[in-house]
Amino acid sequence: METIIRTEKVDKIYYQGRPEEVRALNQIELEISKNRFVLIRGPSGSGKTTLLNVISTIDRPTNGRIFLYGEDISKYSDVQLSRIRQKTIGLIFQNFNLLPRLPAWENVAFPLLPLGIMERERRKRSAEMLIQLKLEKRLDHAPEQMSGGEQQRVAIARALINDPELVIADEPTSNIDAESIKTLLDILTNLKNKGKTIIVSSHDPVFLDYSETIFLLKDGNLIDTKIIPPTPL
């Protein structure tokens, strides 16, 4: 299987006044194959979100290297990393991170702005995405007019608007109800079946039955890896 992400001795250290430091990640080495459903597990404070931020290029490691499709992106400029996120990575944040004053379609279309796409085309593409997620009646609704589950589907639509190869979700079940969790799992499974690579950070056991690769973190250390071989055709 082709490797999409590989980390090499990755540390992430936060300094809270010298000489004190907080080591959020410690010598993390892992590989993530293309078209897998990956779960990063661990208790609160174990480094799950920090690891996702480093993998998704939102944050840089203090030490170590990150490889994307075999290319070392650790020293890329901010502009280069931004382009990678635009083309390759779709991010679903724990708290949705929707812009409160914008309607659903504009929130979804926001990643298209740097590409210079005209408003009519942006609205068309975002509407198509929202319709796929059964939000056709919410195109012009602001986030405050929607339920938590609806807001998350808007966030998912925004993450998918550029058709990314890698979809990353941080604690995606923490702010939604049971029905919305089922919808989320259906969406992520469908994306995986379409060839996407899914990486979820969560302590929610609901993901265990869906995951093919499981990384367990504790105190910033990778303490266990479980890889389930693909089912032969």
The percent of residues above 90 in pLDDT, for the chain, comes to 79
Could you tell me the pLDDT band of residue 155, with boundaries at 50, 70 and 90? very high
pLDDT at 229 over 80: no
pLDDT at 16 over 80: no
- Per DSSP, the residues of 139-208 read TT--GGGS-HHHHHHHHHHHHHTT--SEEEEESTTTTS-HHHHHHHHHHHHHHHHTT-EEEEE---GGGT
Per residue in 33-80, pLDDT tens?
Answer: 999 999 999 998 899 999 999 999 999 999 999 999 999 999 899 999
Mean per-residue pLDDT for 104-108? 96
According to the model, what pLDDT value does residue 18 have?
A: 62
CA neighbor of 153 nearest in space, from 174, 131, 120, 168: 131
Per residue in 172-219, pLDDT tens?
Answer: 988 888 888 898 999 999 999 999 999 999 989 999 999 999 999 999
According to the model, what pLDDT value does residue 232 have?
A: 53
Per residue in 115-145, pLDDT tens?
Answer: 888 999 999 999 999 999 989 999 999 999 9
What is the pTM assigned to this prediction? 0.92
pLDDT at 94 over 80: yes
Strand order from edge to edge, sheet including 197-201: 89-92, 166-170, 197-201, 37-41, 213-218, 221-227
Helix (H, G, I), strand (E, B) or coil at 104: helix
CA distances from 69 to 34, 92, 106, 196 (A): 9, 21, 32, 14
Q: How buried is 24 (Cβ within 10 angstroms: 0-12 exposed, 13-18 middle, 19+ buried)? A: buried
> What are the structural domains of the chain?
3-227 (3.40.50.300)
Spatial contact of 94 and 58, defined as CB atoms under 8 Å apart: no
As a whole number of angstroms, the longest Cα–Cα distance in the chain is 56
